[in-house]
Amino acid sequence: GQNIDQPTEMTATEGAIVQINCTYQTSGFNGLFWYQQHAGEAPTFLSYNVLDGLEEKGRFSSFLSRSKGYSYLLLKELQMKDSASYLCAVRDWEGYSTLTFGKGTMLLVSP
């Protein structure tokens, strides 16, 4: 089976740095994705990790440790518009490329 855990909610202030963790136990692994979803909208792609290590893309970075079944999304220089739900999703095997999503972490950025 698939099990993906992330914190339900986090709060941070504008300009700060926040780290959103994700742990997973899946029957197979072929990549981990992070998506951002604003209320009432569809998710937008943020990052992809398939090998261990850190992937940096502007203000966003994502880290993966396959041996630990662990990933985090790091957001720097937080802005008010970063208030959204952040979804961790794991792709289990390459044939279907299906994603299993965590329940999402609601991040609230305050002034």
Partner 1 sequence: GAVVSQHPSRVICKSGTSVKIECRSLDFQATTMFWYRQFPKQSLMLMATSNEGSKATYEQGVEKDKFLINHASLTLSTLTVTSAHPEDSSFYICSAQVRGGSADTQYFGPGTRLTVL
Q: Does 42 bind partner 1 (CB under 8 A)?
A: yes
Residue 37's H or E segment, with its range, is: strand 32-37
Nearest CB to partner 1, comparing residues 35 and 72: 35
Burial 56-90 (b: 16+ CB within 10 A, else e): eeeebbbbbeeeebebbbbbeebeeebbbbbbbbb
Size of the residue set binding partner 1 (CB under 8 A): 23
Q: Does 45 bind partner 1 (CB under 8 A)?
A: yes
Report, in Å, the least distance between residue 20 CB and partner 1.
14
Q: Which residues would be at the binding site for partner 1 (CB under 8 A)?
A: 31, 33, 35, 40-45, 48, 50, 87, 91, 94, 96-104
